[in-house]
Chains A and B, each alone.
Chain A
Amino acid sequence: MTEVVVTLNGEAAHVPAPASLETLLEHLGLDPRAVAIEHNREIVRRAQLASTPVAEGDTIEVVHFVGGG
């Protein structure tokens, strides 16, 4: 199995390849319904996660709701 290196939430991360955003979330143990994903500065809708490949050098942000005012 090969891997790709991406910038995930600001840090270098090694992701088993081939990967989609959906498999990345699975790998991270995250529920897609509780997060939002930005892929190279573009928001990816939940329905598109499985069909969006993760490539070497991608920048990915995974966010969720935390306490705030």
Chain B
Amino acid sequence: MYIDTPFEIAGRQFRSRLMVGTGKYAGNREMVEAITASGAEIVTVAVRRVDLDRSKEESVLHHLSPDNFFLLANTAGCYTADEAVRYARLGREAGFNDFVKLEVIGDRETLLPDVAGLLEATRILVAEGFTVLAYTNDDLITALRLEQAGAAAVMPLASPIGSGLGMLNPYSIRTIKSRLSVPVVVDAGVGTASDACIVMEQGVDGILMNTALAAADEPVAMAHAMKLATEAGRAAYLAGRMPRREVAVPSSPELGMLA
């Protein structure tokens, strides 16, 4: 049995390579059950105004204890570097660590990243002592620039946020992984367990998902499936797959056949 190396970001070890979001669940109880079934330790959260008219509405902290989960604030919904920096600072103040999942979105229809804004925000936040996990395109050059800018992890997308299309470009993801020293965590776009498995088979360090769990018919059951798929994909990567061939090769001996 091959023993894997620990999953580590910025010198901190985490118990699972699967990271999950907390959005879009039908209810908090289902969210907590699904996250627990996923085995994830890193759990993303968004920073939003407290609804003062309904101030009894609980923050997500009432359901997920920071003693049991590593809460990773995101800058989802931010369209400029300045806005993302503002949200990151608020998230650090509201939260328990200096990690931020940095998103600077460039387009409302595809939610694809604005890589110029992302690089700018990364530089600012790194200078302020943040541990930046940067959500980006599956583009090698951007990934390299983010690493140079001090990102602690680079998070290329499998496909657009919430699309469930699975990994559109395994070549790009493998290339990014092969060229970066910091961890590569594929973020966004997986739809079902086979998607997660294929992502992990590329050798990336981790995977992050939200909608694939929250929008499944049975989120808790899908969370379990995703846990297995993440582990299976990682194990298969470590095992090293057989070469692809264009021709068949028999598995049984050709010698000893009856005349």
Contact = CB atoms under 8 A, between A and B. Distances in A.
B136 interface: no
A10 B50 CA distance: 11
Question: Which among B21, B61, B86 has the greatest number of chain A C-beta atoms within 10 A?
Answer: B61
Most central of A38, A46, A68 by chain B CB within 10 Å: A68
A66 B46 contact: yes
Contacts of A8: 52
Nearest to B20: A69
A14 interface: no
Given A28-B55, A36-B93, A43-B90, A67 B21 contact: yes
Interface in B57-74: 59-62, 71, 73-74
Nearest to A33: B61
What is the size category of the interface that chain A forms with chain B?
20 to 34
Interface residues of B, number: 38
A46 B96 CA distance: 13
Interface in A11-48: 11, 13, 28-30, 34-38, 43, 45-46
B146 interface: no
A68 B90 contact: no
Contact of B55 (A11, A30, A37, A63): A30
A62 B47 CA distance: 10
B7 interface: no
Given A69-B21, A69-B76, A62 B46 contact: no
A61 B80 CA distance: 19
Contacts of B31: 67
Contact of B50 (A46, A64, A69): A64
A62 to B, nearest CB: 5
Given A30-B50, A62-B52, A68 B22 contact: yes
Contacts of A28: 50, 52, 55
Interface in B142-195: 161-162, 188
Given A8-B52, A65-B46, 4 more contacts: A63-B50, A66-B46, A69-B74, A69-B208
Sorted from nearest, which 6 A-B pairs have the closest CB atoms? A68-B46, A69-B21, A69-B210, A36-B94, A36-B93, A67-B22
25 contacts: A8-B52, A28-B52, A29-B56, A35-B50, A35-B59, A36-B47, A38-B90, A46-B93, A61-B90, A62-B50, A64-B59, A64-B61, A65-B45, A66-B22, A66-B23, A66-B45, A66-B46, A67-B23, A67-B24, A67-B60, A68-B22, A68-B46, A69-B22, A69-B24, A69-B44
